[in-house]
Structure 1
Amino acid sequence: MSIHRLLLNARHPETIGAWVAEMAYRTAAPVSEAVTREITAGVLGYNDPLMLTAARESTARWLRTSYAWEVDPAQVGFVGDIVSGYAAVLRHFLPTGAPVVVPTPAYGPLLTVPELLGHPVVRVPGVETRAGHRMDVDGIERALAGGSRLVVLCHPHNPTGRSFSRPELSALADAVSRHQARVFSDEVHAPLNLSGRPHIPYAAVDERTAAHTITATSASKAWNVAGLKCAQLIFSAAGDGPVWQRVAAFYLRSVSRLGVAATCAAYDHPDSHDWLARTLLRLRANGDAVAEAVSAMPGVSGSRTEATYLAWLDCTALDLADPAAYFRSRAGVDLADGAEFDGPGHVRLNFALQEPVLAEALAAMAASLRELRGSGADPSHVRGGLTDRTGETA
């Protein structure tokens, strides 16, 4: 069994792990080489100003060449990861106790972190259409009219895999601007664009969005280096940079020197760009395989993933209280529970797996549904107490 499969199924060792958002692929050679050079040098100390300056410049080049977004390197700040950056924005750029709008479904920490810091969360469910998930901009505007001061945008969207269009982003900008609110835009999955149309950074839509947005990004998802702890905050609003400078040193303490080296290698090296291009081809093929398999699964539906390597599957028609527990127990596939994203009755499937493993997982899921359908089992009985293959009771 490969080390990558072991990492992904470590939560439930006798299952196929398709739950956590990391790829079961080795990272790009220049990234590995950059980390190896740091280790070989034998000095694993703090980050130094030269490295940080290089990483700011690398980030700005990546944003310019990838998205035509001109960012001054001085606008780039560093945090350990996206969630840490989110917490920093809540602490330093939002009035104490101000409510936060989180469109749902949403990556779990986007829902839980504000409440830990004293900010009530206003959940605004998205709209599911035949064309896929959509933000409920009218609902977001009602929340802003009720006193919320920050909208959390996950773009591309985790867990649904949507890549929001310019008209959708502009509609959100209209609502935010009318209420003089702010946006925290989590764009960590931006390089993982499977749609064929370019990613549009929210802050780059127009002058209004630049003036009310703090953007979070990282090489962590696209190059599979989340454990190296180096994410970036982009301060496009004129007054935000000085605020950040007063607290930047505190957050820099959680940024890994190895992560900084990996970030520069990912963003700058042509071979890293080639690796990403090949990986995107692989992910598109895997996404097609998921869409084809899901279309033949009775009671399961989902829209094609436009970005990320995540498929959001609607299992509500199965009438199971916990679809994730069902698939873990009956198919041996460990999926993320939709309830963690405020999407009960759904599961999130990571398809950045080795292709034979993905095929095995999809076949096992389909077989478990045929078994459920053929057994004539009452789904309420299935709800009662599934015992999965790890011995845990679901």
Structure 2
Amino acid sequence: MSVTPLQALPLDQLRQRSSTKWRTYGDDVLPLFVAETDFAPAPAITAALSRAVALGDTGYTPPDPGIAAAYSGFARRRFGWEIDPARVRTTCDVMMGVVEILRRVTEPGDRVIVTTPVYPPFFECIPEAGAVVERVPLRDTGTAWELDLVGIEAAFAAGARAILLCNPHNPTGTVHSRETLAALADLAARFGAVVISDEIHAPLTHRDVTFTPFLDASPVAARVGYAVVSASKAFNLAGLKCALMVTAVDETSAVVRALPAEVEWRTGLFGAIAAVAAFSPESDEWLDAQLAALDANRALLAELLAANLPAARYRIPDAGFLAWVDLSELGWGDNPAVKVLRDARVALHLGPLFGEEGRGHVRINFGCSPEVLREAVERIAQISR
């Protein structure tokens, strides 16, 4: 079925926003760095928040704002995943949920695996929980990235107690297969380790790929895993502060239930209200339209780079609105985003922040209009000549 792509808002309107994307740099810079998108909110979200403001509904978040049931329905519709709403608990954001779970499943000094290049806050939230980062880089097959199960097995065998999984992966946009996730679960079970799966980008999996929630990958995965999810990336709600911690069996559910009440009190009321609206069937059409726009843009970026920056290396991502691009051959050093910002006035995310594997790379946010994406690449091409 054909879906009409969502249209990004015009730049003059976007520049009136007060978020990080639009207040970090001046109006001469095209901001394609932080993970914020340029679309108007889903109508159901706008209506729900507008009603809350009109009512003065700005107090404390209630014990059951309806988000567990809403996400359960969303997961069933979008992923074919059956969730027991009683096994869902909320908190402020995904990284806070990760830290709180890590504090309960690791001891101070325990090693936690991350699969680099990976979302930079992973390197901060693990020490915040008292653990130590252990890097096991993704395997580059030449055509895709995948988990290095041999390397992960070695790390578990050497004593790593957990793995912090990015599924779908940021920055590469990789969606791990059910078979890979099941194999990871088997390794964790063998060594008595746990898997914490950050699935914030899952709603943005593109139509030609199937997303498998880690907890649904196998019965073993359900036993060893925790998932932390949010509407914030797919629906551009990061400032409203709401995430969900999801479990699948009694043992892991007990761990999350035992978290202090304050962990749940940190959930923003507007975040909960917006998330209920986002995960409702009423927002499915909007999400599909956004995915159509992002699908077009991920292909457009490949065309633009091939035409204007043929030395750039880019693989079309399976999910999301973030592109991982290797600019090493341009000779712009380990951190090419610095030159791009200075000389082209385009802000990209700094590759080395994602780990050693990010040297020579940039991350590009293509959750914008085709016109902005085109101008950004053309500006970068100008400084390469």
Secondary structure (helix, strand or coil) at the match of 1:37 reads: helix
2:243 partner letter: A
Unaligned 5+ runs, structure 1:
372-394
Correspondences of 1:91-106 after superposition (within 5 Å): 91-106=103-118
Q: Bigger shift: 5-14 or 118-127?
A: 5-14
Secondary structure (helix, strand or coil) at the match of 1:148 reads: coil
Q: Paired residue for 1:351, among 349, 366, 371?
A: 366
1:333 partner letter: V
1:84 aligned onto 2:99? no
Q: Bigger shift: 8-17 or 304-313?
A: 8-17
Kindly tell me: are residues 84 and 347 of structure 1, through their superposed partners in 2, closer, same or farther at Cα, counting changes over 3 Å? same
Distance 1:220 1:281 in 2: 19
Q: Paired residue for 2:301, among 290, 314, 317?
A: 290
The corresponding residue for 1:4 is 14
1:213/1:237 contact within 8 Å kept: no
Kindly tell me: are residues 112 and 153 of structure 1, through their superposed partners in 2, closer, same or farther at Cα, counting changes over 3 Å? same
Q: Paired residue for 2:52, among 38, 57, 63?
A: 38
Once the two structures are TM-superposed, the CA of residue 120 in structure 1 deviates from its matched residue by 1.1
TM-score calculated relative to the size of structure 2: 0.92
1:218 aligned onto 2:230? yes
Q: Bigger shift: 108-117 or 282-291?
A: 108-117
Q: Paired residue for 2:381, among 362, 366, 385?
A: 366
Distance 1:173 1:155 in 2: 14
Query: Between Structure 1 and Structure 2, how many residues are aligned?
Result: 367
| Cα distance per residue 1:203-259 (max 9 Å; x no partner) | 101110000110011111111111111110102232122232232411122111111
Once the two structures are TM-superposed, the CA of residue 195 in structure 1 deviates from its matched residue by 4.6
2:107/2:131 contact within 8 Å kept: no
| Cα distance per residue 1:88-129 (max 9 Å; x no partner) | 111122233211000100101111221233211111111222
Runs of 4+, deviation exceeding 3 Å = none
1:69/1:204 contact within 8 Å kept: yes
The corresponding residue for 2:241 is 229
Distance 1:45 1:158 in 2: 34
The corresponding residue for 1:118 is 130
1:81/1:231 contact within 8 Å kept: yes
Distance 1:141 1:167 in 2: 16
The corresponding residue for 2:4 is none
1:303/1:312 contact within 8 Å kept: yes
Secondary structure (helix, strand or coil) at the match of 1:104 reads: coil
Secondary structure (helix, strand or coil) at the match of 1:125 reads: coil
1:133 aligned onto 2:145? yes
| Cα distance per residue 1:128-163 (max 9 Å; x no partner) | 223221221111111111100111110111000111
Correspondences of 1:9-20 after superposition (within 5 Å): 9-13=22-26, 14-20=28-34
Distance 2:322 2:74 in 1: 23
Secondary structure (helix, strand or coil) at the match of 2:249 reads: coil
Q: Paired residue for 1:329, among 325, 342, 348?
A: 342
Unaligned 5+ runs, structure 2:
1-10
Secondary structure (helix, strand or coil) at the match of 2:44 reads: helix
Distance 1:10 1:129 in 2: 39
1:10/1:17 contact within 8 Å kept: no
1:30/1:269 contact within 8 Å kept: no
1:154 aligned onto 2:169? no
Q: Paired residue for 1:275, among 283, 286, 303?
A: 286
The corresponding residue for 2:6 is none
Distance 2:37 2:110 in 1: 36
1:61 aligned onto 2:73? yes
Distance 1:140 1:2 in 2: 47
Q: Bigger shift: 277-286 or 123-132?
A: 123-132
Distance 1:346 1:301 in 2: 9
1:216/1:234 contact within 8 Å kept: yes
Kindly tell me: are residues 40 and 46 of structure 1, through their superposed partners in 2, closer, same or farther at Cα, counting changes over 3 Å? same
| Cα distance per residue 1:174-219 (max 9 Å; x no partner) | 3222212100100010010125232110110111000011001111
1:26/1:224 contact within 8 Å kept: no
Q: Paired residue for 1:338, among 330, 346, 351?
A: 351
2:298 partner letter: G
Q: Bigger shift: 13-22 or 88-97?
A: 88-97
The corresponding residue for 2:276 is 264
Secondary structure (helix, strand or coil) at the match of 1:348 reads: strand
| Cα distance per residue 1:317-375 (max 9 Å; x no partner) | 22322200111122211000111101121100000012211111111122222x2xxxx
Distance 2:119 2:156 in 1: 21
